[in-house]
Amino acid sequence: MSQFGIEDFPEILQRAQRGDEAAFRVIYRTYHPGLLRFLRSRLGADAEDVAAEVWVSVTKGLSKFVGDEIDFRAWIFATGRRRMIDLYRRRAVRPQIAQEADVQELSGIAPSEQLEIDEAVAALVEGLTEEQAEIVLLRVLGGFSAKEVGDLLGKSEASIRVTQHRALAKLAEHLKDKA
């Protein structure tokens, strides 16, 4: 496996599209942790539910998917982002009562380690604008290039690079102040 993907992705994808559960598990285990981290950084406790909605959509549309591994990752994260926006809209219309969720992590990371990761991600984007945080998280957690993030967000590659540069400068200043 590469850092963000599967070495023999075309074969695994074809098998999953034909209904091979083992192949789908490989896809899920490869991409779910990054997707979940991205969603947790933006949604907190609701991330698990949104991630589940994403995987239901992926399962339904998998047989029609055409593209390479980069397209597949982009599809998953774009679906996650759309589901996240849908949740924001639902919250605006119908405020929710906060609930404590007792969810077991499927990524193999111990709950205490997952909490540390979530806290580190939250600390990383603290003080950034929503747009800056989303771009940094898609680049870091999603492993997307500036062009791919631009495609996902409907912005130019140059705009993504400028926003990322400003976000990283803000993070560097924030870290410098803490030192």
The pLDDT confidence band at residue 107, using thresholds 50, 70 and 90, is very low
**pLDDT tens sequence across 5-35:** 688 999 999 999 999 999 999 999 999 998 9
DSSP output for the chain? --SSS-TTHHHHHHHHHTT-HHHHHHHHHHHHHHHHHHHHHHHGGGHHHHHHHHHHHHHHHGGG--S-HHHHHHHHHHHHHHHHHHHHHHHHHSPPPP-------SSS--HHHHHHHHHHHHHHHTTS-HHHHHHHHHHHTS---HHHHHHHHT--HHHHHHHHHHHHHHHHHHHHHH-
Domains of the chain (ranges plus CATH)?
1-101 (1.10.1740.10), 109-179 (1.10.10.10)
Contact between 138 and 38 (Cβ < 8 Å): yes
**Could you tell me the CA-to-CA distances from 167 to 134, 139, 147, 174 in Å, in that order?**
10, 12, 17, 10
Q: Which of 1-10, 70-79, 130-139 tops mean pLDDT? A: 70-79
Contact between 170 and 128 (Cβ < 8 Å): yes
Instruction: Reply yes or no on whether the pLDDT at 167 is more than 80.
Output: yes
The pLDDT confidence band at residue 114, using thresholds 50, 70 and 90, is low
- Percent of the chain having pLDDT more than 70? 78
Mean pLDDT computed over every residue of the chain: 80
More confident residue, 141 or 96: 141
- What is the per-residue pLDDT for 44? 81
pTM, 2 dp: 0.63
Nearest to residue 135, comparing CAs of 127, 120, 145, 126? 145
